Structure 1
């Protein structure tokens, strides 16, 4: 009897030890599973965060639609280059440009028919009063040009004023040949004309032989007309015309930035309201213009960055 009891106790002990071992093994599996779950959750969080970042980056490049710019012919070179580069960055955005003069551009943005009104002059107080915002994107110089055979080299500010108000009408008084001066200018409403006349205090005082409706037309007329003089945006200069010094100073970006060349004006991309109130496409365009890459574009077309 005692022997049977001892055998029973031994079997019971072994059973308890086996159950304990199994319990211990089960506990270890639970801990491993918990650790695996934690690791999986952390990985999932990392994946979600990465996906969120990727989504944000994708959203930046996910612009679609169009941007319409209307206005200054003097800004054609800059606006065209800007549109081309921006569309390369955002292939789903179309930048539409129309060059009809600063006044027309400001009117277009004011009445909502354009997103941006390009103006080669500062906005007037009455334009600002209509809620139009002046966003200066570059500084331009106004170059004074004559036909390539003209012997004159330099004009003082007073001499330039006297040419355009009709007081001086022959190049022989200015270091040139005995030849009539043919005074070329832009049409009424042109930002270049407005800036030129304001800088020289010649508003409504100029005596023009021809008033032309684009920068290109002024260049072509001056190039083909002996004794002609005209004013154009700095960035369109080429060897078809002769560029005159003013007060012995060449119209270069360096001289304009230094303040030694007196004929300079802003390039404005006007919006109805602040930039922050515009649609995503327009806001992205201004972000680009004011970026380092945008500043390099401004310089590449012969202009000075605004900031």
Structure 2
């Protein structure tokens, strides 16, 4: 009996595995890799999509925008999630990729709750991140050393922040982190710390910083009064097809855009009152 049981059990397992393989062969499994700022939305949408489509799978991973763009260009994944336009990344053939803008995200400086600063000028912020200002008392805060924390190279969040704040100047070398969630935690736990994260990661553990009296809010992003923002792209190599297209269409559907996008701290594309091209110019 045991031999028969084992034989049939193995046969059944092979049938199951063959079925899984056939799902993959038919395009029933895709992978999206890249931006950690977009990851919460991608993961939530994937879970909902899979619930509504049993047997179809969307695997979501982080790694940063640079990773997402390089992986989708290489054909290693179906979707490359990115906070930046492909044209902004060296080594990426933007002409080979197709952008699907699925949301907009604001990016804000954050500080430890006890530094005593809630507003900075753009020049002060630039001087902090280039190392010209090193103590919070120089900008109206406590007599406390400033501790810089940057996102890692390849991060779309870092690219966007430096583009609109540093204006071509080089950031001072500092500790770097890949994860937005880890950045928030380190700033919350480290006296004198400052960094930057997308709006969707802000919690009461840290203090978002206004710039020249303009608060980091969705409404200010929509009108471009708050300029540190970026599109959230899902890039495909060529036009999206099959399950990849179905998933991206689902992310852009009213079901996701009208509820999930806003709930997670993103801005639906339809609510933007301005548009920018990859060079940062406002377009009609």
Structure 1 length normalisation: TM-score?
Answer: 0.75
What is aligned with 1:286?
248
CA distance in 2, matches of 1:291, 1:65: 20
In the TM superposition, what is the alpha-carbon distance from 1:236 to its structure 2 partner? 0.8
Q: Does 1:217 align with 2:182?
A: yes
* Structure 2 residue corresponding to 1:265, chosen from 219, 230, 240: 230
| Residues 1-307 of structure 1: pairs in structure 2 closer than 5 A | 65-124=28-87, 127-129=92-94, 131-203=96-168, 205-275=170-240, 278=241, 280-296=242-258, 297-307=260-270
CA distance in 1, matches of 2:64, 2:267: 21
The number of residues matched between the two structures is 242
CA distance in 2, matches of 1:292, 1:247: 35
- Structure 1 or 2, whichever has the larger Rg, is 1
CA contact under 8 A between 1:153 and 1:175: conserved in structure 2?
no
CA contact under 8 A between 1:77 and 1:301: conserved in structure 2?
yes
Structure 2 length normalisation: TM-score?
Answer: 0.81
CA contact under 8 A between 1:69 and 1:95: conserved in structure 2?
yes
Task: Evaluate the alpha carbon distance shift between residue 204 and residue 89 of structure 1 in structure 2; reply closer, same or farther with a 3 A threshold.
Answer: farther
RMSD: 1.7
CA distance in 2, matches of 1:289, 1:224: 35
Structure with bigger helix share is 1
CA distance in 1, matches of 2:76, 2:161: 28
Structure 2 unaligned segments of length 5 or more: list them: 1-25, 271-284
CA distance in 2, matches of 1:98, 1:288: 18
CA contact under 8 A between 1:156 and 1:247: conserved in structure 2?
yes
CA distance in 2, matches of 1:191, 1:178: 32
CA distance in 2, matches of 1:202, 1:225: 27
Q: Secondary structure at the match of 2:154?
A: coil
CA deviation profile, 1:124-180 (whole Å, cap 9, x unmatched): 265244501122111100011111112111011111111111111111111101111
Query: What stretches of structure 1 move > 6 A for 4+ residues in a row?
Result: none
In the TM superposition, what is the alpha-carbon distance from 1:203 to its structure 2 partner? 4.8
Q: Secondary structure at the match of 1:145?
A: strand
Structure 1 unaligned segments of length 5 or more: list them: 1-62
